[in-house]
Structure 1
Amino acid sequence: MKALTYFSFLLCAAAIMVSCSSSEQETAQVIDVTAKARIDSTLTAFVANGKVAGASALIYEDGKEVYFGAFGFADKEARRPMDRNTIVKVYSMTKPITGTALMTLYEQGKFDLDDPLAKYAPEFADMTVYVGRGENGEYLGEPLERPITIRDLTRHTAGFGTNTNIPGLGDLIADADASNWNNTLTEMAEKMGQTPLWFQPGTQWQYGPSVDVQAFLVERISGQTYHEYVREHVLDPLRMEETRYVVPQKDIDRFSASYTQTESGLTQLPNEEAHAFNLKKWPLTPGGFGLTSTLDDYMKFAQMLVNNGTLKETTILEPETVKLMATNHLDENIEERSWLPSKGQVGFGIDFAVRLREPQSAEENNGVVGEFFWDGAATTLFWVDPVNKLTAVFFVQVFPFDGTLHKGFRDAVYGPVKVASKK
């Protein structure tokens, strides 16, 4: 009897240990039953409240799919639902793909990050910085204090003007029309090289055409067109067949419409206008925008990153390179950072924002220290969370960019922001 009792005790103890282990494992998991319900509710509310016509999300954790959801319409006028294979314009989520292509050349020893851009592209050898207009309206400039480096391109500190609304300089940017879709990347670079910079390299963070110059640099260094190079070295090896500049006619019925928020509510843009860049092959293959993708296709890219450069048996980058890209390169002395602080407690690496600190208030974007991410103009988003081995891709197609959607989705994934107590 005593032996039986002791045996029973051992069984009970083992059961308790298994239970505790399971409980700890369940606690460690980010996307549990509660999180899934929270995400469903959040995405449903985005649609029901008229914030978006359709929303979808895909999340992997520890190499496995743990969440997929699609709600509302990809094309409300056509009554086509948002689906797993819906094609969307990812806009600036093109940038990390371009940065990855560039860094494959870095691994080949083709350049160093602190090399002057003009070493490879003499189009940028004689740049000046805009300081104003003279009495007769003539342009006044000053010489560069130091050359633009490749690192400046990868962290948005090169000094390029961002738009045509900059007083004085905006007219010169408009006249150059460097980003015209009918320009090749070489023609774009030539026109940018003849346009004054907005500020001295390395002194400010300002979003702009730096990643388009990265695509040009890929062409110049590799000897291939950017489109060929990125397909051969990034997209095709990852089997990202549906990440493309041009959406073929056979797939048009999967192409999401785009929407804009107006005073009267959500308005669908005409498809021929919204899809114009992606319905034909243009001379320009920008590195900063232009790609379309699906949830599963873009997730392959995110999974490659969380796996330190490898997806299954395909290696795109070495672990050291991924770490370099996901490390903050933005000096704390660079205080002028445009709207980057709206992303949370972040710095900037190589074509990614990098989370440096936990949220300091409940209003900030949720996330984990060490996470790296980027988003797109139509409010798309993806991130890589190495701590939890979690990757998330979030698709909507709405203008203007709506950061409240990212805030809501992040809170749904991780739960409400827990602000660290200040000592």
Structure 2
Amino acid sequence: MHIMKQTASLLLVALFFFASCKEQEPEVHYLVDEAVEVRIDSTLQSFVDFGDVAGASALIYEKGKEVYFNAFGYADLKNKKPMERNTLVQIYSMTKPITGTALMTLYEEGKFKLDDPLEKYAPEFANMQVYKGYDSIAGKMILEPAKRPITIADITRHTAGFSGRRDLPGLGEAIAEADALNRENTLSEMAKKLSTIPLGYQPGEHWEYGISVDVQAYLVELLSGQPYAEYVQEHVLDPLKMNNTRYVVPESDRNRMSSAYSHEGDSLNQLPNEEAHAFNYKKWPLTPGGWGLTSTLDDYMRFARMLVNDGKLDGVEVLEPQTVELMSTNHLDENITDRSWLPSKGQVGFGIDFAVRLQPPASVEENNGVVGEFFWDGAASTLFWVDPVNELTAVFFVQIFPYNGSLHKRFRDAVYGPITLQNTPE
């Protein structure tokens, strides 16, 4: 009896100890609570109600937990097919961070250094000429030699000098004639044609968004000895189980693809699928690094969660933590003041295929966000971001042309709340 009483006493002490420990565990607070969910719902519904989009969906994870999902409106407006969780969309430039990730797996293997000249691996980019103007009397471009070689860092941060300026006399015609991104070109053919076009500016002097990430895909082929599509599948998509992220959508899955839309005045125009999805309904020679993939909310969220988890997801390491840190660090020198439309994204710099937030919003009109976040978007107005401070990842899907940044502003405000400006000294 004495032993039984002693055992019972020990059990009571143990239960009290564990209860005390449980009470002392810090409560986990989430940015996205019930009130925020209601605010996001209202915002996404307003996009549909006001005719900004036919359909909208969003998925948010915070601290490893799904904290928000919803979908509104239609993927196929004419046939009243709703926007759903497994709807496939064209992610356009949200392909770029995936390509950057594939390239950086080779960086981890010691295959290249960021300050290596591109011509070390792709000799067609040696001795590049730079556009200085147009001699209308002679009927030809005025050119000068590049002051330094294009580096791999240049093609990861859009400072290589490649230009898409079709409005520049002579250069615009050269870009059109080369037609580097024609779907019938392989990546090797794309690179050879691109190398014949003069650069629009000296390497490292301006930020101009464009074809650089397609050159990254070509570099992956050169360094790995594998076709780019095979390499990215094997080293990024398969390890992350991103089974719905593809260039070519099989016929059996095409009923899940969202239609694409454009605005005609105040009304939405639903583009014919055969036209809007032509790239994804057939296997083309070109497998671009800068665009072309289709994906679902959950697939792209797996990619985003890998990044917020310092390169790992579900026990699989895609990148080392220091590589993710390198990619999400600003690489734009402050002396590069000509940055095209990048400042429209907010107080940001640029890392390796991501914009990187450096300062909080300076006005209530700016995009909302947290210092340290990194993100990118797509031509059809899709968006994702990684917020390491709150351990939050968000993916936002619509399919609307032209690109509508105001949707991102309103969605971000719904997630974070109205912008509160920091007090500044007079």
**TM-score, normalisation: structure 2:** 0.93
1:248 Cα offset (Å): 0.4
Q: Secondary structure at the match of 1:406?
A: helix
Instruction: Give the structure 2 partner of residue 204 of structure 1.
Output: 206
- Given the alignment of the two structures, is residue 136 of structure 1 paired with residue 138 of structure 2, yes or no? yes
Instruction: Give the structure 1 partner of residue 272 of structure 2.
Output: 270
Percent identical among aligned pairs is 67
Equivalence map 1:156-305=2 (5 Å): 156-305=158-307
Partners of 1:130 and 1:190 lie apart in 2 by 18
- Given the alignment of the two structures, is residue 419 of structure 1 paired with residue 421 of structure 2, yes or no? yes
Partners of 2:99 and 2:164 lie apart in 1 by 19
Q: What do residues 21-80 of structure 1 show as CA deviations (whole Å, max 9, x unaligned)?
A: 65xx44xx2100111000000000000000000000000001111100000000101211
- Given the alignment of the two structures, is residue 147 of structure 1 paired with residue 149 of structure 2, yes or no? yes
Partners of 1:385 and 1:20 lie apart in 2 by 24
1:262 Cα offset (Å): 2.0
- Given the alignment of the two structures, is residue 334 of structure 1 paired with residue 349 of structure 2, yes or no? no
- Given the alignment of the two structures, is residue 43 of structure 1 paired with residue 44 of structure 2, yes or no? yes
Q: Secondary structure at the match of 1:56?
A: strand
User: Which sections of structure 1, spanning at least 5 residues, go unmatched?
Assistant: 1-13
Q: What do residues 369-419 of structure 1 show as CA deviations (whole Å, max 9, x unaligned)?
A: 000000000000000000010000000000111010000000000111111
**Structure 2 letter corresponding to 1:218:** V
Partners of 1:202 and 1:343 lie apart in 2 by 21
Q: Secondary structure at the match of 1:104?
A: helix
1:408 aligns with one of 382, 407, 410: 410
**Structure 1 letter corresponding to 2:349:** G
Moved over 4 A (4+): 17-22
Q: Secondary structure at the match of 1:383?
A: strand
Q: What do residues 298-341 of structure 1 show as CA deviations (whole Å, max 9, x unaligned)?
A: 00000000000000111000000000000000011100000000
Q: Secondary structure at the match of 2:31?
A: coil
In structure 2, do the counterparts of structure 1 residues 192 and 40 end up closer, same or farther at CA, with 3 Å as the change threshold? same
1:161 Cα offset (Å): 1.1
**Structure 2 letter corresponding to 1:286:** P
Q: What do residues 269-291 of structure 1 show as CA deviations (whole Å, max 9, x unaligned)?
A: 11111000000000000000000
Partners of 2:90 and 2:275 lie apart in 1 by 13
Instruction: Give the structure 2 partner of residue 395 of structure 1.
Output: 397
Bigger shift: residues 136-145 or 310-319: 136-145
**Structure 1 letter corresponding to 2:89:** V
Q: Secondary structure at the match of 1:153?
A: helix
**Structure 1 letter corresponding to 2:367:** N
Partners of 2:169 and 2:382 lie apart in 1 by 30
**Would the aligned equivalents of 1:359 and 1:419 in 2 still touch at CA under 8 Å?**
yes
Instruction: Give the structure 2 partner of residue 95 of structure 1.
Output: 96
Instruction: Give the structure 2 partner of residue 373 of structure 1.
Output: 375
1:140 Cα offset (Å): 2.2
Instruction: Give the structure 2 partner of residue 362 of structure 1.
Output: 364
Partners of 1:309 and 1:175 lie apart in 2 by 41
Partners of 1:255 and 1:346 lie apart in 2 by 33
**Structure 2 letter corresponding to 1:373:** F
User: Which sections of structure 2, spanning at least 5 residues, go unmatched?
Assistant: 1-18
Partners of 1:166 and 1:314 lie apart in 2 by 47
Partners of 1:131 and 1:164 lie apart in 2 by 15
1:20 Cα offset (Å): 12
Partners of 1:266 and 1:209 lie apart in 2 by 30
Partners of 2:166 and 2:308 lie apart in 1 by 38
In structure 2, do the counterparts of structure 1 residues 34 and 167 end up closer, same or farther at CA, with 3 Å as the change threshold? farther
**Would the aligned equivalents of 1:126 and 1:193 in 2 still touch at CA under 8 Å?**
no
Q: What do residues 79-125 of structure 1 show as CA deviations (whole Å, max 9, x unaligned)?
A: 11000000000000000000000000000000000000000000101
Q: Secondary structure at the match of 1:267?
A: strand
Q: What do residues 197-222 of structure 1 show as CA deviations (whole Å, max 9, x unaligned)?
A: 00000000000100000000000111
1:136 Cα offset (Å): 2.0
Q: What do residues 153-199 of structure 1 show as CA deviations (whole Å, max 9, x unaligned)?
A: 00000010124233331110000000100000000000011110000
In structure 2, do the counterparts of structure 1 residues 21 and 106 end up closer, same or farther at CA, with 3 Å as the change threshold? closer
**Would the aligned equivalents of 2:102 and 2:235 in 1 still touch at CA under 8 Å?**
yes
In structure 2, do the counterparts of structure 1 residues 418 and 18 end up closer, same or farther at CA, with 3 Å as the change threshold? farther
Q: Secondary structure at the match of 1:43?
A: helix
Partners of 2:79 and 2:317 lie apart in 1 by 41
Partners of 1:278 and 1:333 lie apart in 2 by 40
**Would the aligned equivalents of 2:127 and 2:149 in 1 still touch at CA under 8 Å?**
no
* C-alpha RMSD of matched pairs (Å): 1.6
Partners of 1:315 and 1:389 lie apart in 2 by 18
Q: Secondary structure at the match of 2:368?
A: coil
